């Protein structure tokens, strides 16, 4: 019979020992900063009504159209593994009456998200995001507050070589006018643009601006820019945002063709990328680390009143990879003071009791349980560079005693079981 070998699903990761060292640094840094800025934590279910995303993110976006994991429950509901965090947070804002809290409401979240994307470097089908949302606030200063949080975040993670790209995609009225002009322009290049863009032109034309194909990029370069189609309100919002950025001396680069893959965005959008060359003289590569923007209509689309809001999220795996690659934090070996050596069944019970006591006294130990021979246990104790071994063999177990071996000198003394902790503390 052939053995079945199971593999994790394509585009997913197993996080192991060292990964968690970096995982915790990223999570703890984010949590500390957002809590300092008085954001309160929210955790929404991993499964949501699929319609929430179809309505919120948009039916003809890649995320909903191609990438959503959907399932039918036994009761016949269609649920989706959440592909993003903003729509669920807005659903929760409405459902839990957060309108009654002091406004604007500041929320943060952290958890796994799912998109059926083509896996590639930094792009997974299950990935972790941490995000912030400021709901019910129209002031462009709120965009700055979010950028400030993420600048501090990257600084504290010691991540350099980043660029901030910003743009304004206006409101639905600005977009309506712009899309018509863009459509006319792209129609004249219908034969030249890629197959994907031919579809995008018809279904979600702004996404053409995001195409990575060289031939499309050269066409887009000369297209009209949405910034020239902003209505007076959107224009003054963006101008105020830019003035604040300049005033604070925050670095940014205006990208008139920056768009996002989610339909709910309005006005200010931004992305923070890492820019690096993979090899000496190689091409500069850009990887989005943090993305966000304003979504003034989303809550209304989901059935609430008109509630302007802004948010952003980072991808954990991408940051984790940078911390590892650049060796920005080095894992410290945790010192274990005591190794427990045991031989035989009676000793096993005594060691298990001793473990209880050591835990109570917060003396860090490593147990040799599961290893049979004395030699193998002592070898491991040596490798772990412990100060002491507590040895209980058959004889010691029957006599109710423990052999304390000082590893550096190889000296050992025999003490009564009840005195072990006292002896260890003395040393």
Q: How far, CA to CA in Å, does 112 sit from each of 31, 43, 126, 146, 230?
A: 16, 11, 6, 21, 36
178 binds ligand AMP (CB under 6 A): no
Phi first, then psi, for residue 131 (nearest 5°) are: -145, 165
> Mask: binding to ligand AMP, 360-389, rule CB under 6 A, as x and -?
------------------------------
31's tokens: 């949590």
Determine the interface stretch with ligand AMP among 117-125, 133-141, 324-332, 395-403 (rule: CB under 6 A).
Answer: 117-125
Reduce the DSSP state of residue 286 to 3 states and report it.
strand
Residue 165 interacting with ligand AMP (CB under 6 A): no
Nearer to ligand AMP, 200 or 318 (CB): 318
**147-153 CB contacts, 8 Å cutoff, 24+ apart:** 147/245, 147/250, 147/270, 147/312, 148/248, 148/250, 149/33, 149/34, 149/37, 150/272, 150/290, 150/312, 150/314, 151/250, 152/33, 153/29, 153/30, 153/33, 153/290, 153/314
The interface region with ligand AMP, picked from 120-128, 303-311, 330-338, 393-401 by CB under 6 A, is: 120-128
For ligand AMP, the binding residue among 30, 93, 257, 314 (CB under 6 A) is 314
DSSP one-letter string for 169-227: ---HHHHHHHHHHHHHHHHTTTTTS-HHHHHHHHH-GGGGGG---HHHHHHHTTS--GG
Between 210 and 396, name the residue whose CB sits nearer to ligand AMP.
210
d(CA 301, CA 82): 18
Binding status of residue 166 toward ligand AMP by CB under 6 A: no
Q: Does 318 bind ligand AMP (CB under 6 A)?
A: yes
CA dist 3 to 6, 9, Å?
A: 10, 18
Q: For ligand AMP, what does the binding mask look like between residues 8 and 37, x meaning CB under 6 A?
A: ------------------------------
Say whether 17 sits in a helix, a strand or coil.
Answer: helix
Measured from the CB of residue 352, what is the shortest distance to ligand AMP in angstroms? Answer: 43
Q: Compute the distance between CA of residue 136 and CA of residue 416 in angstroms, rounded to an integer.
A: 67
Instruction: Kindly identify the residues of this chain, within the stretch 122-161, that bind ligand AMP according to CB under 6 A.
Output: 122-124, 127, 129
128/241 with CB nearer ligand AMP: 128
How many Cα atoms occupy the beta-carbon half-sphere of 292 within 13 Å?
29
Shortest distance, CB of residue 268 to ligand AMP, whole angstroms? Answer: 14
Region from 219-227, 309-317, 336-344, 363-371 binding ligand AMP, contact rule CB under 6 A? 309-317
Binding track, positions 70-89, relative to ligand AMP; x by CB under 6 A:
--------------x-----
Site pattern 272..301 for ligand AMP (x: CB under 6 A)? ----------------xxxx----------
Binding site for ligand AMP (CB under 6 A): 84, 115, 117, 122-124, 127, 129, 261, 288-291, 313-315, 317-318
């Amino acid at each position: 019979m052939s053995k079945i070998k199971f593999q994790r699903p394509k585009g997913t990761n197993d996080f192991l020992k060292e990964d968690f060292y970096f995982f915790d640094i990223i999570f703890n840094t984010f949590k500390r900063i957002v809590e300092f800025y008085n954001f309160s934590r929210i955790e929404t279910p991993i499964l949501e009504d699929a319609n929430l995303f179809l309505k919120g993110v948009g039916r003809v976006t890649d995320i909903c159209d191609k990438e959503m994991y959907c399932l039918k429950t036994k009761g016949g509901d269609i649920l989706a593994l959440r592909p993003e965090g903003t729509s669920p947070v807005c659903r929760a804002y409405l459902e839990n009456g957060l309108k009654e809290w002091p406004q604007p409401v500041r929320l943060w979240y952290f958890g796994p998200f799912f998109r059926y994307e083509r896996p590639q470097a930094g792009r997974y089908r299950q990935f972790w995001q941490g995000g912030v949302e400021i709901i019910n606030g129209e002031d462009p200063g709120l965009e700055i507050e979010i950028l400030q949080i993420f600048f501090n975040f990257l600084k504290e993670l010691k991540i350099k070589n980043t660029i901030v790209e910003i743009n304004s995609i206006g409101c639905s009225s600005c977009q309506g006018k712009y899309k018509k002009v863009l459509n006319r322009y792209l129609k004249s290049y219908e034969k030249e643009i890629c197959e994907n863009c031919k579809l995008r032109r018809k279904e979600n034309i702004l996404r053409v601006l995001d195409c990575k194909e060289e031939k499309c990029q050269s066409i887009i370069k000369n297209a009209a820019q949405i910034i020239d189609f902003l209505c007076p309100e959107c224009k003054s919002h963006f101008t105020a945002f830019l003035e604040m950025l300049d005033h604070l001396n925050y670095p940014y680069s205006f990208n008139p063709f920056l768009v996002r893959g989610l339909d709910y965005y309005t006005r200010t959008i931004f992305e923070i990328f890492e820019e690096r060359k993979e090899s000496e003289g190689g091409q500069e590569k850009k990887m989005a680390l943090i993305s966000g923007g304003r979504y003034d209509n989303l809550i209304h689309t989901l059935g609430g009143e008109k509630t302007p809001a802004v948010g952003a999220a980072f991808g954990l795996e991408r940051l984790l990879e940078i911390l590892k690659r650049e060796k920005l934090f080095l894992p410290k070996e945790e010192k274990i003071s005591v190794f427990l050596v045991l031989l035989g069944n009676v000793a096993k019970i005594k060691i298990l009791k001793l473990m209880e006591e050591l835990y109570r006294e917060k003396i860090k130990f490593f147990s040799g349980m599961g290893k049979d021979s004395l030699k193998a246990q002592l070898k491991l104790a040596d490798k772990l560079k412990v100060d002491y071994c507590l040895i209980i063999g058959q004889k010691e177990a029957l006599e109710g005693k423990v052999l304390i071996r000082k590893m550096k000198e190889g000296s050992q003394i025999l003490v009564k079981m009840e005195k072990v902790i006292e002896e260890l503390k003395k040393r």
